[in-house]
Structure 1
Amino acid sequence: MNMHHRFETARASTGRESTLRKMLSDLVLTCQQIEADIAAEEARAGIHDRSDRRYPILARSLNERHDNLKGTIAMLERRVTERSQPKLVTGAA
């Protein structure tokens, strides 16, 4: 039974946090690029209304990807926040 995760050092924890922060940074940049790609595709097609049946398929696909990445970013931000908060230790008295 591998229980190394229970005894992680502050250095390992900091490494994981910096990895999460780097991932967040990369995902935010990716979202920004996708937003620019969506805007360009909508401008090319001249249709900006997602409910329009003529809305470009590429823009629909990019919107779905963008939404998924936003969910991933939110989840990673929660993890970073949880890891950076001090943990309360409750003991039996």
Structure 2
Amino acid sequence: MNMHHRFETARASVGREPTIRKMLSDLVLACQQIEADIATEEQRAGIYDRSNPRYPILARSLHERHDNLKGTIATLEMRVTERSQHRLVTGAA
């Protein structure tokens, strides 16, 4: 059971926020690139309906990757929001 996060100092917590924000920025850019790659692959194949059996395998896998990244982004955004709210409530810098 990993509980070290409960014992981190306010300074360590604040120091992570810029890193998390940078990660978020990078992940958003990756999602945008994947969206462009999906559009390119759909255009190349001429098939835009994911339920079509002939829908490109590459586009399917890119959609899965995109969905996973969106989940990661949501989790990181929630973490940043929780930390910001915690600092407001506790008055920590």
Kindly, what percent of the aligned residue pairs are identical? 73
Which consecutive unaligned segments of at least 5 residues does structure 1 have?
A: none
Following the alignment from structure 1 to structure 2, what is the Cα–Cα distance between the partners of residues 48 and 4? Answer: 44
CA RMSD of aligned residues (A): 2.0
Structure 2 residue aligned with 1:62:
62
> Structure 1 residue 9: deviation in Å?
3.5
Q: Aligned residues, how many?
A: 87
Counting only pairs closer than 5 Å after superposition, residues 1-93 of structure 1 correspond to structure 2 as: 6-10=7-11, 12-86=12-86, 88=89
Query: TM-score under structure 2 normalisation?
Result: 0.84
Structure richer in helix, relative to its length: 2
Query: TM-score under structure 1 normalisation?
Result: 0.84
Following the alignment from structure 2 to structure 1, what is the Cα–Cα distance between the partners of residues 86 and 61? Answer: 40
